[in-house]
């Protein structure tokens, strides 16, 4: 059985659907908090609950007793930790939520995996860990010690915590740095959702950094395929690892890091044009300076993912946005 934390979340939902379609048994947990519309999370859960191979429990990662009880009752071959307090800008408003969920909660997962001898822990990191880095494309082999948001700092901390458990206890861990994930059932706080809603309602959109942004937008099905391909690839110690010149992406412990991104950065204005094309409406743009915690560009080097998992994301922004807009119109019953 595979455990997915954050199963009612955006990526967790899509991953669970994919694994259930393959005939896997999936156990999902989620705290169903109100960071964004709980009805959207319930809609995802309804689709998941239609499968006899899916079991769900409302559970918070910070509930150590609840997590320990779950792991004592169930035997998980693989744990995929996607639950987290997300969002760069919200970390400026409510920093403690990030420490509680992303650090305390992740520690509970690490401890449970350690004591239950889980065969493989896969966890979500983020492209935000690259912070002040400007060398493009972003590589997992480069140092990432200069985050520019607390959210990014907690994700970098997850990588360090995972390495410690891989080193001390031999727990195989794989960290995945996701790059700007979008698609149907996406988070309402993300740009695509906000822009689509505003454009369809003839409301202005806020365009930060005066539109001078580059993002490696990655369609959710590509993210899921990357995770799916990596599940059976359990990390092993790197025999060539050199402590005089340490590679951040591997170790003498069973520990690995991968980027999962489209490897094709898109200008924000081109992104908006694709939404305009899919909706058939023009955007009213409100140009603003860059926001604290944001980075001007992201670009994923995915060579390690290609070499190890034999997969490279490739959904075009036009195709992905069209699929999202079609879903949005159907889900919210938008008619003209």
3-state helix, strand, coil in the chain (%, to 5): 45, 15, 40
State the Cα–Cα distance between residues 41 and 32, nearest whole angstrom. 7
Contacts of residue 22, defined as CB under 8 A and 6 or more positions apart, other chains included, come to 228
Catalytic residue (choose from 90, 98, 151, 208):
151
Is residue 165 part of the annotated active site? The answer reads: no
Between CA 90 and CA 195 the distance in angstroms is 18
For the chain, the farthest-separated pair of C-alpha atoms sits apart, in whole angstroms, at 63
Cα–Cα distance for residue pair 62/107, rounded to 1 Å: 9
Transcribe 77-117 into DSSP letters: SEEEE------TTHHHH-HHHHIIIIIIIHHHHHHHHHHHT
Q: Which residues pair with 123 in a beta bridge?
A: 81, 175
Sole residue written with tokens 């994919």: 18
Intra-chain end-to-end CA distance of the chain, in Å: 45
What backbone phi and psi angles, to 5 degrees, belong to 260? -125, 100
Residue with tokens 């700092």: 153
C-alpha 188/C-alpha 51 separation (Å) is: 26
Distance CA 322, CA 183 (A): 9
Tokens of 285: 């743009």
CB 166 within 8 A of CB 254: yes
Instruction: Report, as residue numbers or ranges, the catalytic residues.
Output: 151
């Amino acid at each position: 059985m595979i455990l997915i934390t954050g199963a009612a979340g955006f990526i967790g939902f899509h991953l669970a659907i994919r694994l259930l379609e393959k005939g896997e048994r999936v156990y999902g947990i989620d705290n169903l908090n109100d960071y964004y519309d709980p009805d959207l999370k319930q809609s995802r859960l309804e689709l998941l609950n239609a499968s006899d191979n899916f079991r769900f429990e409302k559970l918070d990662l910070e509930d150590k007793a609840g997590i320990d009880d779950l792991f004592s009752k169930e035997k998980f071959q693989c744990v995929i930790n996607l639950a987290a307090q997300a969002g760069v800008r919200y970390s400026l408003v409510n920093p403690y939520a990030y420490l509680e969920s992303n650090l305390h909660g992740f520690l509970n997962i690490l401890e449970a995996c350690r004591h239950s001898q889980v065969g493989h822990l896969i966890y979500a990191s983020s492209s935000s860990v690259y912070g002040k880095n400007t060398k493009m494309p972003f590589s997992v082999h480069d140092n990432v010690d200069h985050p520019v948001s607390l959210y990014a700092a907690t994700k970098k901390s997850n990588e360090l915590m995972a390495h410690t458990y891989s080193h001390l206890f031999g727990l195989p861990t794989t960290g995945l740095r996701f790059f700007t994930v979008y698609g149907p059932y996406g988070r309402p706080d993300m740009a695509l959702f906000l822009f689509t809603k505003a454009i369809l309602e003839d409301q202005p959109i806020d365009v930060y950094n005066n539109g001078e942004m580059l993002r490696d937008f990655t369609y959710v099905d590509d993210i899921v395929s990357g995770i799916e391909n990596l599940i059976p690839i359990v990390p092993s110690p790197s025999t060539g690892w050199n402590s005089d010149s340490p590679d951040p992406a591997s170790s003498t412990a069973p520990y690995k890091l991968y980027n999962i991104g489209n490897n094709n950065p898109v200008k924000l204005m081109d992104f908006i044009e694709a939404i305009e094309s899919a909706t058939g409406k023009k955007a009213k743009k409100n140009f603003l300076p860059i926001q604290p915690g944001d980075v001007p560009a992201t670009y994923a080097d995915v060579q390690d993912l290609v070499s190890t998992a034999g997969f490279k994301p490739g959904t075009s922004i036009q195709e992905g946005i069209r699929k999202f807009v079609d879903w949005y119109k159907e889900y919210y019953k938008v008619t003209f």
